[in-house]
């Protein structure tokens, strides 16, 4: 069965530091890949997505992610974190060409120190 | 342009009762998906509606049912509520042109006591 793992439950970084959130997936074939962010009391906002092509994708708010097929990973990065980035981050996968039943990881909570 | 809206914001129900949650999709979207997000977990796919039909379903019991109206809005119904149904219920909408770009609503927080 397909699954998504996010090994880090909670990460704390200082404002201005770089960030990397890890995501690994288990799937029969390369799925479509997504990163979402959820602020307290809010719904999910799409940060970026990978369908095909260049394995380094750029998203909103200065985020980027790199798809590595050999490692079944899709890690999210940001070179300099801002206090407003504190939130819950979810990695998600969806099967190619077979509907949009997204499978989400358990999430990583990001705290930012001033 | 209004995004995805959900009502109510919060809801408290008793075990065994029934509940209906509502969702209005983003303008121009015709597909609605529902997710359950338990505390501290990622969202889990319940089902998706398109053209007033349930198109896909996740691993949820028949107590969970839904409906989509001609204006594309949708309802999620849960019968015989269990304590374990307490969660944030998220609605997401998308369009046939861009089905993988899902826009999420703020959710309905359901508490079952």
The total domain count for chain A is 1
Structure confidence at residue A29 as a pLDDT band (50, 70, 90): confident
Instruction: Check whether A40 has a pLDDT greater than 90.
Output: no
User: E strands within A22-86?
Assistant: 24-26, 32-38, 44-50, 56-58, 64-68, 73-78
Q: Cα–Cα distance between A75 and A77 in angstroms, integer?
A: 7
**What pLDDT, on the 0 to 100 scale, is given for residue B1?**
64
More confident residue, B63 or A30: B63
**What pLDDT, on the 0 to 100 scale, is given for residue B28?**
92
A-B interface: how many C-beta pairs under 8 angstroms?
Answer: 60
Q: Which CATH architecture fits B5-112?
A: Sandwich (2.60)
Question: At a CB cut-off of 8 Å and minimum separation 6, what does B5 contact?
Answer: B23, B24, B105
Residues of chain B with pLDDT under 70: 1
CA angle A24, A26, A28 (to 5 degrees): 140
Q: Report CA B51 to chain centroid distance, whole Å.
A: 16
**Residue ranges covered by each domain of chain B:** 5-112
Q: Do A41 and B48 touch (CB under 8 A)?
A: no
Give residue-wise pLDDT tens across range A50-108: 998 899 999 999 999 999 999 999 999 999 999 999 999 999 998 876 666 889 999 99
A62 backbone φψ class: left, alpha, beta (φ>0; ψ -120 to 50): left
More confident residue, A52 or A15: A15
**What pLDDT, on the 0 to 100 scale, is given for residue B100?**
86
- Least CB-CB distance to A100: which of B100, B104, B106? B100
Q: Tell me the chain B residues in contact with residue A36 when contact means C-beta distances shorter than 8 Å.
A: 104
Give residue-wise pLDDT tens across range B31-60: 999 999 999 899 999 999 999 999 889 999
**What pLDDT, on the 0 to 100 scale, is given for residue A113?**
96
- Least CB-CB distance to B90: which of A32, A34, A44? A44
- Structural domain range at position A61: 3-113
Q: Is B4 on the interface with A (CB under 8 A)?
A: yes
**What pLDDT, on the 0 to 100 scale, is given for residue B54?**
92
Give the domain CATH number at A16.
Answer: 2.60.40.10
Question: In terms of DSSP bridges, do strands B108-112 and B87-95 run parallel, antiparallel, or are they unpaired?
Answer: antiparallel
């Amino acid at each position: 069965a397909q699954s998504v793992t996010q090994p880090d439950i909670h990460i704390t970084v200082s404002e201005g530091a770089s960030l990397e959130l890890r995501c690994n997936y288990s799937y029969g074939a390369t799925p479509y890949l997504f990163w979402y962010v959820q602020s307290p009391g809010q719904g999910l906002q799409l940060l970026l997505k990978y369908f095909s092509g260049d394995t380094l994708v750029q998203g909103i708010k200065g985020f980027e992610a790199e798809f590595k097929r050999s490692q079944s990973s899709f890690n999210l990065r940001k070179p300099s974190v801002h206090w407003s980035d504190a939130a819950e981050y979810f990695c998600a996968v969806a099967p190619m060409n077979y509907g949009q039943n997204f499978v989400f990881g358990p999430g990583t909570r990001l705290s930012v120190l001033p | 342009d209004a995004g995805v809206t959900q009502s109510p914001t919060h809801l408290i129900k008793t075990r065994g009762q029934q509940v209906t949650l509502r969702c209005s999709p983003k303008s121009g979207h015709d597909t609605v998906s529902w997710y359950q997000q338990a505390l501290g977990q990622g969202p889990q796919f319940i089902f998706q509606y398109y053209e007033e039909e349930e198109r896909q379903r996740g691993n949820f019991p028949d107590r969970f049912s839904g409906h989509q109206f001609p204006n594309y809005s949708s309802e999620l119904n849960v019968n015989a509520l269990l304590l374990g149904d307490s969660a944030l219920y998220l609605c997401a909408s998308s369009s046939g042109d861009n089905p993988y770009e899902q826009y999420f609503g703020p959710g309905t927080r359901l508490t079952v006591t």
